[in-house]
Structure 1
Amino acid sequence: MTIFSNKALVHKHVLITGATGGIGIETAQTLALMGARITITGRNKEKLKKLKGELLQQMPVDRLCMLEADLTKEEDRIRLVEYAESELGFVNGLVNSAGVSGGKLVEELDESFIEEMMNLNFMSTFLLTQKVYRKMLEHGEGDIVNLASLSGLRGTYGNTAYSASKFAVVGWTQSMAVEAIARGIRVNAVCPGYVDTEMARNSLHGKAQRNGTSFEEELENTEKGIPSGRLSTASEVAHTIAFLLTNAAQNIVGESLKISGGSVMR
């Protein structure tokens, strides 16, 4: 179900990174129903092609662009922005959904693990955004939504590197938002807790392995700790992202919107 008009984003060309992940897929499908032009990107070509086929059942082919890209590579970031604009015009919406999860205790961390986490979740996203933002500055408009996490708002056990990367995303969102809004560009973030996606299930499997429990036990314990009694859905996160891209959210600036089922309130 969607609460949005099928023309709410007809004026937008939105670039969605991490479009092969659970939240990225739902975001692309939601924005398609709202009339946006969409460029989808990710590292898994087969998943991208599958998503493209699904999207073409609900949107015209001339409003959809697909490109496989590794955002940790400068040449891919350049190629992505240039190709998206050559196919569908000025990118005035950006959803940074690409990223990874993973938890280790502090004493188990090594430099390569930390570097990879920071690069995938923060640095490569920042550098891509910088390229898109420079184009937005030329036009004096644009909306950017970063996928952060509740782990970017408070620390949790065995989650140091991931939490650090998401705190970086939240801090960057807030600081950039202050600069950007005076130029007609809004920057915000969404901060989901556990979302019922493959990434979250992998995280719970890892937690179960560390604790010597089962996946089912960890899922039950996690749901018991959430006032709403359940994980969020990818669709709920996608709808929040979509809202932030619409004109209905014009004075929401530099926020980190929590999707926590009541588990974090402040």
Structure 2
Amino acid sequence: MSIFSNEALKHKHVLITGATGGIGYETAKVLAGMGARLTITGRNEEKLNELKQQLIPVVGEENVFVKTADLTVEKEREELVLSADKALGFINGLVNSAGIGGGGVVEELDEATVERVMNVNFKSTLFLTQLVYSRMLEKKEGDIVNLSSLSGLRGTHGNTAYAASKFAVIGWTQSMALEAIEHKIRVNAVCPGYVDTEMAWNSIRKKAEKKGVSFEEGMNEAAAAIPSGRISTTEEVANMIAFLLTDAARNIVGEAMKISGGNFMR
């Protein structure tokens, strides 16, 4: 559910990657409540169609376009952008939500794991954005929100490859933002701490197993370590993304917006 006006993004066609679950899935629902036209993409066609059925009553079938894509494949990135533009018009909003966890402590890393994490979380995101950005440059208009992480702002134990990929997203966001704002295009990043998603559950589960405690105990420990006493919801992160796409955020440029319940202070 959106906390914003149901017409706040009526002028936007937003492409959301990673829309098959977690933050991307919830972001689509929030943006629909703000009147946006939506292209949703991911690898799981069934989940995308499930989401589409939830969006249709809000924005109408003609304003939702579904396209499965593996963003690590150049041809599929190109087909996604071309078909989305053809279906719903100029893409003037992009939410790069697709991402994976992965890696571990340094001595456990292997080249294949590092390549996979960097390809999904950074490289494919960069090159998809390049395709969308080229059209934004022609129109001198657009907003881009990249999903980084609290792990992109500080190192995290046992999460080296993931943290490296999210640090890369921050550096790229800040550098691109300086170029893009010259053309009236804004680029920002959102940096969640733990969010109530499958990725976070898997991370907490692994840590709990290493400690020899139950998943429930691991969840309680994770929440207790956060000053607010709880993990963020996907809706809270989606609302921050939504805000960055609105005109209310028109002078927010190149920022890495944290949402962590104060966890960044510890």
TM-score bracket, normalised by the shorter chain, equals over 0.9
Describe the SS at the equivalent of 1:154: coil
Contact 2:16 2:97 in 1 (8 A): yes
Say whether 1:57 aligns with 2:60: no
* Cα distance in 2, alignment partners of residues 254 and 110 from structure 1: 32
C-alpha deviation, 1:220, in angstroms: 1.1
Contact 1:92 1:142 in 2 (8 A): yes
Say whether 1:19 aligns with 2:19: yes
Provide the residue aligned with 1:141 in structure 2. 141
Contact 2:65 2:84 in 1 (8 A): yes
Q: Segments of 4+ in structure 1 off by > 4 A?
A: none
Mapping for residues 185-224 of structure 1, pairs under 5 Å: 185-224=185-224
Provide the residue aligned with 2:170 in structure 1. 170
Q: Deviations over 1:62-83 (max 9, x none)?
A: 1110000000000100000000
Segments of 5+ residues of structure 2 without an aligned counterpart are none
Say whether 1:152 aligns with 2:160: no
* Cα distance in 2, alignment partners of residues 38 and 112 from structure 1: 34
C-alpha deviation, 1:216, in angstroms: 1.4
Provide the residue aligned with 1:107 in structure 2. 107
Q: How many residues align?
A: 266
C-alpha deviation, 1:238, in angstroms: 0.2
Say whether 1:259 aligns with 2:249: no
C-alpha deviation, 1:210, in angstroms: 2.7
Say whether 1:88 aligns with 2:78: no
Contact 2:103 2:114 in 1 (8 A): no
C-alpha deviation, 1:226, in angstroms: 0.4
* Cα distance in 1, alignment partners of residues 254 and 49 from structure 2: 33
Classify 1:208/1:103 alpha carbon distance in 2 versus 1 (closer, same or farther; 3 Å).
Answer: farther
Q: Deviations over 1:33-69 (max 9, x none)?
A: 1000000000001111111111112121111100000
Contact 1:102 1:203 in 2 (8 A): no
* Cα distance in 2, alignment partners of residues 162 and 211 from structure 1: 21
Q: CA RMSD in A?
A: 1.1
Provide the residue aligned with 1:241 in structure 2. 241
* Cα distance in 1, alignment partners of residues 259 and 112 from structure 2: 31
* Cα distance in 2, alignment partners of residues 44 and 207 from structure 1: 28
Describe the SS at the equivalent of 1:243: helix
Q: Deviations over 1:112-151 (max 9, x none)?
A: 0000000010000000000000110010010000000000
Say whether 1:122 aligns with 2:122: yes
* Cα distance in 1, alignment partners of residues 133 and 212 from structure 2: 46
Deviates more, 1:33-42 or 1:193-202: 193-202
C-alpha deviation, 1:156, in angstroms: 1.1
Segments of 5+ residues of structure 1 without an aligned counterpart are none
Describe the SS at the equivalent of 1:158: coil
Provide the residue aligned with 2:231 in structure 1. 231
Describe the SS at the equivalent of 1:145: strand
TM-score, scaled relative to structure 2: 0.98
Contact 1:191 1:259 in 2 (8 A): yes
Describe the SS at the equivalent of 1:14: strand
* Cα distance in 2, alignment partners of residues 230 and 110 from structure 1: 33
Percentage of matched positions with identical amino acids: 66
Contact 2:2 2:31 in 1 (8 A): no
C-alpha deviation, 1:203, in angstroms: 1.4
Amino acid at match of 2:210: R
Describe the SS at the equivalent of 2:40: strand
C-alpha deviation, 1:265, in angstroms: 4.0
